[in-house]
Amino acid sequence: MSSPFTLTIDWLAFTLPSGSAQDTMQMLGGDWTKSATGFRGYPASWITASASRGVGKLGTRAPRAPLEVHVDLSAGIVAPWPSGKVRTILQWILKQDGHLTRLDCALDDRNSCVPLLTIRQAIEAGQCVTRADRMQRISSSSIHNATPSGETLYLGSPQSQTMLRIYDKRLESQTKQREDWQDYGIRWELELKKDRAQGCGQVLSYLEEADWLEFIVGVLRGYVDFRATSRDEEDEFRYRAPLLDWWLLLTDGFKKGRLVVEKEAQTLPKVKRWVSQSVAPMLAVIYAEHPGGPAWLERQILAGKRRWKNKHRGLLKKETPSDSTKDAGGDAGAPSQGGEGVS
C-alpha cells in the first residue's frame, strides 16, 4: 500500500543572464508558440500550454539585457514532470549561472489525516511557532447555492521570500470537476522566492531524489512548527515546547511519503483547449498560405486519423482495436505525457 503522503514540485520560474530562447524551449520541452505581446517587460515572448492545465511563458530581448531569458512555468506544466527531469532542469539552470525566482513544493496529506479545522484552531490558539507575522484565511462558496468551494490559510506575506498555503485540495479539485479529486486531501504548499528559491533549488539539484522529501519537510519545519504552547508564553519557552502529537505524526508521514508525477486524464475539451491556446496561431499561419494552406491542413488531418492509437480513439469513446491491429512496435496504450499535448 502506497503512502498517503506525497511531494510534488508545483511551480518553477527562473532567469538566465545570457541564453538562447530556442535552446531554453528545447531543454524544457513542449510546444511553444511566438506571442504577439511581451511578457514581464521582455518584448519578445513565447507561450506553451498543456492539454490538461497550466501555462508556461518565456521572455527575452529586454533593452537593458538583450541576452537575458526569463521563464515562468505554472503547476500544470511542472507537476507532470518526473523528478528526474526536474533535477536535470535545475542542474541546467545553475550551469547557465541562472537564478531561480520561484519554486513551489506541495506536500499532500492525501487522506486528510489532519483536518484544516485542526490546523486553523492551533494557529488561533497561539500554538503555531513561525517567523511569519500574519495569517490570512480566505473562504469561497457558490453564489447560487452557497456550496463551499474551498478554504485557504495563508501564513506569511506575498511579498516575502517564503509563504505557506494550506488548503483542501480535494474540495478544490472536486469544484473544478477533476476526475481524480478523491485522490487528494489537505495540501501544504510552500512558495519560495528569490534567495529562498535559489537555495532550495541548489540543494535539490544535487540531492538524491529519495532524500527530497526529508529535505522539504525540514524546510517546512524551519518555517513553521506546531507546539504545545500559547502566544502568551515567552519566546524561549514557545520554541522549546513539545511538538503537538498531530504535527509529529504528519511531518513523519511526509518524510516517509513519495515523490509523484501528477497526471490528469485526457478529455476532448482539454485537448481542444490546448490546441486553441498553443497550436491555433500556427495553424492560422498555415491556413493563410495562398493557395495551398487549407488543402495541406486537410491532408494532415486525414493522415493523422490513420495514425490514431488507443489514446486517440479513447477520446472519442470508440472501441479500441485488438492487439493484432496495433502498430508494430507501437505504444498504443501509453498515456500522453504532460505538456506534450496529443500527437
Residues 153 and 272 in one domain: no
Residue 342 counted as domain residue: no
Residues 145 and 57 in one domain: yes
| Contact (Cβ atoms closer than 8 angstroms) between residue 104 and residue 190 | yes
For residue 215, report the phi and psi dihedrals to the nearest 5 degrees: -65, -45
Residues 210 and 311 in one domain: no
| Contact (Cβ atoms closer than 8 angstroms) between residue 315 and residue 267 | yes
pLDDT at 256: 82
Residues 109 and 128 in one domain: yes
| pLDDT by residue, tens only, the chain of 343 residues | 457 899 999 999 999 999 999 999 999 999 999 998 999 999 999 999 876 678 999 999 999 999 999 999 998 899 999 999 999 999 999 999 999 999 999 999 999 999 999 999 999 999 999 989 899 998 887 777 777 767 899 999 999 999 999 999 887 776 776 777 777 899 999 999 999 999 999 999 999 998 999 999 999 999 999 999 999 999 889 999 999 999 999 999 999 887 655 555 556 665 676 577 556 776 777 777 767 777 877 887 887 777 776 656 666 764 444 433 333 333 333 333 333 333 3
| Contact (Cβ atoms closer than 8 angstroms) between residue 257 and residue 7 | yes
Q: What is the DSSP string of 321-334?
A: PPGGGSPTT--TTP
Residue 339 counted as domain residue: no
Q: Which helix (H) or strand (E) holds 193?
A: strand 186-193
Residues 89 and 130: their CA atoms lie apart, in Å, by: 31
Alpha helices (H) in the chain, listed in sequence order: 21-28, 75-78, 83-95, 116-124, 169-175, 194-206, 212-223, 235-238, 245-255, 268-274, 280-288, 293-306, 310-315
Residues 173 and 292 in one domain: no
Where does residue 324 rank: exposed (0-12), middle (13-18), buried (19+ CB within 10 A)?
A: exposed
314: containing domain: 268-325
For residue 199, report the phi and psi dihedrals to the nearest 5 degrees: -65, -45
- Please identify, among 201, 235, 259, the residue that sits at the C-terminal boundary of a domain: 259
Residue 340 counted as domain residue: no
Residues 68 and 98 in one domain: yes
Residues 67 and 191 in one domain: yes
pLDDT at 243: 96
| Contact (Cβ atoms closer than 8 angstroms) between residue 109 and residue 253 | yes
How distant, in Å, are the alpha carbons of 134, 149, 214, 307 from that of 208?
34, 38, 11, 40
Residue 337 counted as domain residue: no
Residues 194 and 124 in one domain: yes
Please give the model's pTM, rounded to 2 decimal places: 0.75
**Dihedral angle computed from the Cα positions of residues 325, 330, 333 and 335, in that order, rounded to the nearest 10 degrees:** -150
Q: In the chain, how many H helices and how many E strands?
A: 13, 13
Residues 181 and 302 in one domain: no
Residue 333 counted as domain residue: no
Q: Number of folded domains in the chain?
A: 2
Strands (E), 17-64: 33-34, 44-49, 55-62
- Please identify, among 219, 234, 259, the residue that sits at the C-terminal boundary of a domain: 259
Residue 343 counted as domain residue: no
- Please identify, among 219, 242, 259, the residue that sits at the C-terminal boundary of a domain: 259
Residues 196 and 239 in one domain: yes
Residues 174 and 302 in one domain: no
Residue at grid coordinates 496529443: 342
Other CB atoms within a 10 A radius of the CB of residue 252 amount to 12
Residue 229 counted as domain residue: yes
Residue 334 counted as domain residue: no
Residues 291 and 321 in one domain: yes
pLDDT at 172: 77
